[in-house]
A and B are shown apart, each in its own frame.
Chain A
Amino acid sequence: MNKRSLITSALVLASLVGVVLIIRQASDLAVLGDLAKVFGYISLLTIGGGMAAFPELKALTVEHHHWLTAHQLIHLYSVGQMAPGPNMMMVVSVGNMVAGFPGALVSGLAFFIPTAILTFVVGRLWNSMVDNPWRGSLQRGLAPVSVGLLLAGCITIGLAVLTDWIAIVECVVVFGLLLRTKINPALLILIAAILGYARFYILGPLPKIP
């Protein structure tokens, strides 16, 4: 038995154990199904970046399923921007809030596996599509669409968060610094957290409680 098949069988075994864990722990399998559907569907909309799918994510998790409030979703999304790796790992946090660890596992798998398989398949077919004239057309045409969707996602969050002057100034300063300097975004978000901490002790709780 070579190393590769060992690793593959270990992965299969681990996922089987995961599934068994889910079924034993989950109080409500229907909720896990909903999580899988929502995040599997959302993942297919993340063309250009996670933010492109945010309006749809909000519509489904907040308005349709009532899993959490809009402000809670935005909080998790924002913290997720600081975390390393793919910037939509907040789906794991949402899954955890809805259905504990099994919820987190299902959400993460549903969000990352379908697009990974799609990318794998297209990645292998890509070379045979080199001569297809539609490849360039789609690539060129979809780029501005994804920018529009990203911007729309920013506006959706901005309308909910940029409600006071301090928040607006913070947003503008971060925006400017990131365009002008090579500062690490995680550092800026950390500073913002400290400012929010200070704000609480100087100005008290936020005027509008989510």
Chain B
Amino acid sequence: MSDIPAETPAEDSGAERLAEDSSASAILPLDGSAAESLPVAEPVKTATIQKIFLVFLVIGGISFGGGVVAYLRSYLVTNYKWINDETFIELLAISQSLPGLNATNMAVLIGDRLQGKTGAAVALIGMCLPGASMMLAVGMLYSLLHHNYLIQSVLHSVAAAAIGLVLATTLQLGKKSVKQPWDFLVVGLGVLGINVLHQMVPFVLLGVGTVSVFPHRPRKQKKESTP
């Protein structure tokens, strides 16, 4: 099939076949102006408010069991190419050093980069809506059923598994950031403050935080060294 008679109505059968094959976007490259018709070539322009909302809604709805950051990366960096990997890593670093969950912090930061305030708002709402609806339903069911021995047995078992899950996540995080003896001491102090001395989290955060940041404080000329 040649591309010359693409504009003439003589090619009805071919156009029909393509239309049946897939969506309209598959037909577009047959046009003379191929550069304009490829949607992937213009990355950020495809990130309209509606699309941002939909993509975050999908991620917020399918990321069962956590791992939202991995979903975000494969959708936004690999598939849609809305942001590049360097930006993604940088935004992740901001997310991790601020209060708030990574999932929602990333939604706000990426949404803002793509479409400003409105983008950030719709990304946040899309990310939260599916999980919130589900947990609202769970809360309603649980209010009715929490005296049931069977439900208690099921949830006791689920809780045991959840601890294993969070421990594994913590260990993976620790592998990256807990390396020097001082870091291990900081982790130990945190556990001591909360589990043994039963101090409030903000006090532990402030106290242990100061101890931890101290050896990394900005200094002139000197290289970072172990205390």
Complex interface residues of chain A between 168 and 210 (CB less than 8 A to chain B): 168, 170-175, 178-179, 184-189, 191-193, 195-197, 199-200, 205-206, 209-210
Instruction: Fill in one digit per residue for A121-163: 1 if any B CB lies within 8 Å of its CB, else 0.
Output: 0111010000001101111111111111111111111110110
Q: How far is the CA of A118 from the CA of B94 in the complex (A)?
A: 11
- Contacting pair A92 B162 (CB below 8 A): no
- Contacting pair B177 A144 (CB below 8 A): yes
- Contacting pair B153 A199 (CB below 8 A): yes
Complex interface residues of chain A between 43 and 77 (CB less than 8 A to chain B): 43-53, 55-56, 59, 71-72, 74-77
- Contacting pair B128 A89 (CB below 8 A): yes
- Contacting pair B98 A47 (CB below 8 A): yes
Q: How far is the CA of A46 from the CA of B97 in the complex (A)?
A: 10
- Contacting pair A157 B159 (CB below 8 A): yes
Which one, B143, B163, B201, contacts A53 given CB within 8 A?
A: B201
Q: How far is the CA of A140 from the CA of B112 in the complex (A)?
A: 25
Say yes or no: A173-B164 contact (C-beta < 8 A), given A112-B104, A156-B195: yes
Say yes or no: A86-B49 contact (C-beta < 8 A), given A200-B150, A206-B149: no
A201: min CB distance to chain B, Å = 9
Which one of B12-20, B34-42, B133-141 is at the A interface? B133-141
Q: How far is the CA of A173 from the CA of B121 in the complex (A)?
A: 39
Chain A: CB-nearest residue to B115: A4
Say yes or no: A195-B157 contact (C-beta < 8 A), given A87-B66, A178-B168: yes
- Contacting pair B212 A108 (CB below 8 A): no
Complex interface residues of chain B between 122 and 168 (CB less than 8 A to chain A): 122, 124-125, 127-128, 130-132, 134-136, 138-140, 142-143, 146, 149-150, 152-168
Q: How far is the CA of A93 from the CA of B115 in the complex (A)?
A: 32
- Contacting pair B98 A151 (CB below 8 A): no
> What residues on A are CB-neighbors of B186 within 8 Å?
144-145, 148
> What residues on A are CB-neighbors of B212 within 8 Å?
141-142, 144-145
Say yes or no: A167-B134 contact (C-beta < 8 A), given A88-B101, A175-B164: no
Interface residues in B, total, Cβ within 8 A: 103
Which one, A52, A86, A187, contacts B201 given CB within 8 A?
A: A52
B97: min CB distance to chain A, Å = 5
> What residues on B are CB-neighbors of A126 within 8 Å?
94
Which one, A80, A149, A174, A205, contacts B194 given CB within 8 A?
A: A149
Which one, A50, A122, A134, A145, contacts B209 given CB within 8 A?
A: A145
- Contacting pair A85 B170 (CB below 8 A): no
- Contacting pair A115 B98 (CB below 8 A): yes
Q: Does A11 contact B (CB under 8 A)?
A: yes
> What residues on A are CB-neighbors of B135 within 8 Å?
76, 79-80, 83, 89-90, 92-93
- Contacting pair B139 A162 (CB below 8 A): no
Complex interface residues of chain B between 62 and 101 (CB less than 8 A to chain A): 62-68, 91, 93-101
Which one of B2-10, B25-33, B213-221 is at the A interface? B213-221
Q: How far is the CA of A162 from the CA of B159 in the complex (A)?
A: 9
Say yes or no: A8-B118 contact (C-beta < 8 A), given A158-B163, A171-B161: yes
- Contacting pair A148 B157 (CB below 8 A): no
In the complex, 26 of the A-B residue pairs with CB atoms within 8 angstroms, ordered by the A residue number, are A7-B122, A45-B202, A47-B97, A49-B101, A50-B101, A77-B162, A79-B142, A81-B166, A87-B101, A93-B135, A96-B140, A112-B104, A115-B105, A116-B105, A118-B98, A119-B100, A126-B94, A142-B97, A142-B209, A152-B194, A170-B161, A185-B65, A195-B157, A196-B158, A199-B153, A200-B153
- Add 6 more A-B contacts to A119-B109, A141-B214, A172-B164 (CB < 8 A): A76-B138, A78-B161, A84-B64, A85-B59, A141-B209, A148-B189
Q: What 10 A-B pairs are tightest by C-beta distance, nearest first? A: A148-B190, A196-B157, A93-B139, A174-B164, A186-B65, A115-B100, A141-B213, A85-B131, A133-B218, A143-B177
